[in-house]
Amino acid sequence: MAKDLETRERLRTARPRLRVLLMANAADGPALRSALLAMTELDIEVIDEKPGILSQTTGAPVDVVIFEFDGQSLPQPGAAGDKGRPVRIALTHERSPQAIREVLRAGADEVLFLPLDQEDLSRALLKISESVGDAAAHSGGKVISVVSLTGGTGVTTIASNCAIALANLAGKKTALVDLDFQSGDLAVCLNLEPERCISDLNDTGARLNSVQIESVLTRHRSGVYLLAAPKRIEESEQIAASRVGMIIGLLREMVDVVVMDIGRYISDVSVAAWERSDDLLYVIDQSIGAVRGAWRFLDLFARLELPRLQLRFVLNRWTPRHPITEKQIITTLGRPLFARIPREDSVLEQALGRGEDLWKAAPRSALTRALEEMALQLSAPVDLPKKGGLLSKLFARNGAHAGVKS
């Protein structure tokens, strides 16, 4: 556990990069540039441009535009929250509420006052950096992690069938990633014998790209692509969490959905995977051990502080007359159940015995229908939070209550 929290802390303390376009007059420009470069928390690249309307040919996209507001000039057209528009920070000498409203109405997201306070600047840019980094990590397709601290609850079964359902029912281009390096059961579950695996992507000296990843994927007859676990257990110790993060980032750009089998062992690889996930399916069954493990996991999840990650509990192998009821589980966890998958061992055995998936072996079974319903819920698009500063949100609320029109 301590190692997991250390991993989280390393991720937090890494210096994110921010590209800042500075539009200031000759008198204030040098001091503003020095203040930006003096920030030690961020790796800032400063691009200078003369005040006025921002040119549309400024080269590579920027994350932030800092400009001196003169009552008329704006950095570029577009409303706050437009997709792909950089955050706009206006600089002004006027501190009155009326002046701030005027700046925000003109399209600024944040307002800083001149002479510039270094702490105010750092606070604003750090907040923007978190938003930019978070959006970048979650751009592209959806990423779903499947995990359980209790062995035997059916993590691999849920992960594999969820991926197949997303591919067949929702029409999603789907990839399965086996991060349960100790077991590596996904290939067996899918009746595949992959020639290559994630270990083939572990050359840290080579720059990773989509062509390399595509070359190690194995296609299942359902259309799902598998990135298999290492063939030898000892190879798993050589795969760094940072490398896994890169692989996930590239995969989500290549497919619509990435489903990851995390297994039951929590490590720095698990934390790296969760950092880049949108949904986390925690699998439990109707046993005291599984519910206790889920309760312990809730404690860890709270300490890791992953606000973007949707934690969802899946009750697998559910039987209606079990002594441990669905209501008791919900009360103990203090969380609702996202999905309830009925127990149909004979159907699973039939599918495994034939080497087929459930949609071939038992398309009308209650088990198959429950998995389809869960997949449809998971296929909903990810809603990314819009950019916007605290001041803009505050004045938007105040303006609405006061009847002020933008």
* pLDDT by position in tens, the chain (length 406): 444 445 444 434 445 678 899 988 888 889 999 999 988 878 888 998 776 555 443 456 788 999 988 776 566 544 444 446 788 899 998 888 888 888 888 888 889 999 898 888 988 888 887 666 555 555 578 999 999 999 999 999 999 999 999 998 878 899 999 999 989 999 999 999 999 999 999 876 667 888 999 999 999 999 999 999 999 888 888 888 888 988 999 999 999 999 999 999 888 899 989 989 999 999 999 999 999 999 999 999 999 888 889 999 999 999 999 999 999 999 999 999 999 999 999 999 988 888 888 999 999 999 999 999 999 899 876 444 444 444 444 444 444 443 333 3
Helices 268-275, 241-254: axis angle to 10 degrees equals 30
Q: How many residues in the chain? A: 406
Q: Which residue has the tokens 């062995």?
A: 151
Q: Phi/psi of residue 44, each to 5°? A: -105, 130
Q: Residue 19, CB half-sphere, CA atoms under 13 Å: how many?
A: 9
Cα 207 to Cα 190: distance, rounded to the nearest angstrom? 30
Distance of CA 303 to CAs 8, 117, 300, 318, 378, Å? 10, 33, 5, 30, 25
Candidates 97, 371, 385; CA nearest to 259 is 371
Candidates 68, 35, 34; CA nearest to 49 is 68
Candidates 50, 47, 49, 51; CA nearest to 36 is 47
- CB count within 10 Å of CB 247 equals 25
What are the DSSP E strand ranges found in 193-350?
218-219, 225-227, 257-263, 279-284, 310-318, 337-342
CB 338 within 8 A of CB 313: yes
